Amino acid sequence: MESQLERLKSSALNGSVAALQEFEQIAWRNPVVFSRFSVWPVISQVLDSDNVPQGPPDPARTNQILACISLLTTLLNRHRATQTPTLQPHDGSVLWKTIEIWSIYMAHLTGILGEEQTINEDAEFVNEVVIHLEELLDQATRFPGMAHYYAAWRPPRMSRFLSPLYSLLLRTMGSSHLYKPYKLIAVVTLFFGEAKLRRKITDEDVLIVCAYDKKISRHALLQIATAFNNNVLACEQENLQTFTTLVNVTFHLYRPDAAGVYEPDSVLVLMSEAFTRLLRTVSSRRTKIIKNHPLSWWVVLWMLLEIKDTLEHSGTRGLRASLGSSLLCALISIEIQIETIPHGHDIESWLECRTEMVNLIHYVKQFLVWPSLRKISSAQIMAVEKSGIERRLDPGTGFWSAWEDFKQAIVDLDTADAEIRYYFTTCHNLACPSTGVRKMQRCTRCYLAAYCSVVCQRDDWEDGHSAICANYLRIYYEPDERGGQELSLPTDVAYLQLRASMDLYDRMDKFNSLVRHFEAQQTDSSAAFILLLDYRDFVQTREVGMSVTTLEEGFLAIIPKRADRTSSPTSYVPSAEGMVTVLGPMGDCFSSCIETTRITILTDTVERFFGDAEGLMAAL
């Protein structure tokens, strides 16, 4: 055996991959005999000549390093299984050197660090190297004392080591066909935690150097959240910490640039969905994580705060994603499990969790003015009622009051919208011969006109709806040029347009009074004005804020007061005659130019809905 090992050693040093593979087989078959022969110096010498490839990788060198990885994994496994003597310091240095070289080498080899993903064509090879690396890292972190060598590295070396691992994690988790290295999440968390513990590195230090691909990073976060949701990943502090790191740094990378412009495909919506999925997983009444896990209440509180923060910045798209991921069901499930505080738990965390859940319901409630969010919420409320868990709520709690108020707001808003629903039961083709209430199909461009047939839609399109539709799209779907946030769904915008038409018609006396007061305060008789219809408090008060002011002051009111918005409000003014601007719940706005000719959707809607609009035009 001794002579055979010496012969294999000579062959391995000469670059023989077969010799390294035979070393591995001997280690499995006869670990006691093999432990007397130190193969670590052999691996060290094999790797000494290694340089990170800058061009096309050498296949022979790749196979050689891959064989070293397999051999090291086997050595660590057999050391632990047979309880052989502890590894020597030199062995630990060789181990970390191998891991470091291979992580960087593999990153270049597979294109992990490139701007474009280049590993689709050879998924089998990528899966092989990822599995080998994951197994080696898993074995290394389990071995006593191995973290000592890694912790002694300087920050630049840590960054060079961790960056490929993070990129690898994102690329594989974000892929639809590559192996998912779930164990790598825990390994990376351990490495990252050790570095942070010694204050040698931060989130940004490690991850900012990764060549992020936006699509891949978004998919990766959703894949990890889905793994939590399907119990593939345990909801443990380490895994949650890694997920938080990925999310926070991804958010850091998606911050606005110096000009104050957000990426159009912001990751905030994804974050809202991912955090809600995690909350739903932790709140499961089947796994009882909240009752059994000692850190579960802290995790719940942290996720509630993260969801609230992302919703405040992601707009209605984030709300739809979060509600669509069963946010309301998760809150109900959590409330049932923490109605009473178990013995030994922190009462302050318990109280704070319950307070934040109530705050989150109140926050979502103010956006129920949008029909799309109301529809999603109604479906979840129906599911909760059918399941019977709602009966387990304590009527004396603040959560119960907030929940009942939330449900009543949906009922009240649906009742108030009866006239708008009736509006879409009449064909908008004025020459339509049919009468009565029928099922209609709405125009899929503006969603403000309904027709009983294709013939009626075509006739009305030729009769003038095409111009109205084009003008509507030009005015209402250019939020960036006006400084407002991204608008909601077209159906939601059309709804608020009709809602504004009705409310303005019902408040003509107040509008006339505001105009007269505005004109009396102006020294310039030709001063242009802007009418603001504010729906930000509509759900709570059922009242519409109405004010008339100058164009410039009006735009200053509707532009979000955020430091990253630096454009001049005057550049958003499309008309010097006058304007009606409607504010949605988040300050997202759409405006109608008011001129002497009937070109606005707002005026046209009032005329169709209420008849003659000459009085309105005279007032304007």
User: pLDDT tens-digit profile of 168-177?
Assistant: 776 676 666 7
- Gyration radius from the chain CA atoms: 32
Q: What angle do CA 288, 289, 291 make, to 5 degrees?
A: 70
Using 50, 70 and 90 to split pLDDT, how confident is the model at 113?
very low
Using 50, 70 and 90 to split pLDDT, how confident is the model at 194?
low
Share of the chain above pLDDT 90, in %: 6
CA distance 169 to 56: 23
301's tokens: 């509180």
DSSP assignment string, 31-61: HHHHHTS--HHHHHHHHHT----SSSPPHHH
- Whether residue 99 is predicted with pLDDT greater than 90 in this model: the reply is no
515's tokens: 């105009």
Asked whether the beta carbons of 394 and 339 are under 8 A apart, the reply is yes
Mean pLDDT value of segment 208-227 = 58
Asked whether the beta carbons of 135 and 177 are under 8 A apart, the reply is no
| Spatial CA neighbour of 319 closest among 284, 363, 283 | 363
- Whether residue 433 is predicted with pLDDT greater than 90 in this model: the reply is no
Between the CA of residue 304 and those of 262, 275, 534, what are the distances in Å? Answer: 24, 8, 29
| Mean pLDDT of all residues belonging to the chain | 68
Mean pLDDT value of segment 460-481 = 69
Element (H, E) at 593: strand 589-593
Using 50, 70 and 90 to split pLDDT, how confident is the model at 486?
very low
CA distance 160 to 101: 10
Asked whether the beta carbons of 372 and 491 are under 8 A apart, the reply is yes
Write down the domain spans for the chain.
1-242, 266-412, 417-476, 477-619
| Phi-psi domain of 440 (left: phi exceeds 0; alpha: psi -120 through 50; beta: other) | beta
pLDDT of the residue at 134: 78
CA distance 282 to 251: 23
Is the pTM here over 0.85, yes or no? no
193's tokens: 């935690």
**pLDDT tens digit sequence for 288-304:** 666 666 556 767 787 78
Type of residue numbered 3:
S
Asked whether the beta carbons of 539 and 369 are under 8 A apart, the reply is yes
pLDDT of the residue at 137: 76
**pLDDT tens digit sequence for 371-406:** 889 999 999 999 999 988 888 888 888 999 999 999
Mean pLDDT value of segment 8-37 = 73
| Spatial CA neighbour of 564 closest among 501, 457, 449, 485 | 485
Tell me the β-bridge partners of 578.
Answer: 529
DSSP 441: E
pLDDT of the residue at 354: 86
**Residue whose structure tokens are 């706005």:** 589
pLDDT of the residue at 317: 80
| Phi-psi domain of 260 (left: phi exceeds 0; alpha: psi -120 through 50; beta: other) | left
Element (H, E) at 591: strand 589-593
pLDDT of the residue at 26: 77
**pLDDT tens digit sequence for 566-613:** 333 333 333 334 456 666 665 565 555 443 222 233 444 444 444 433
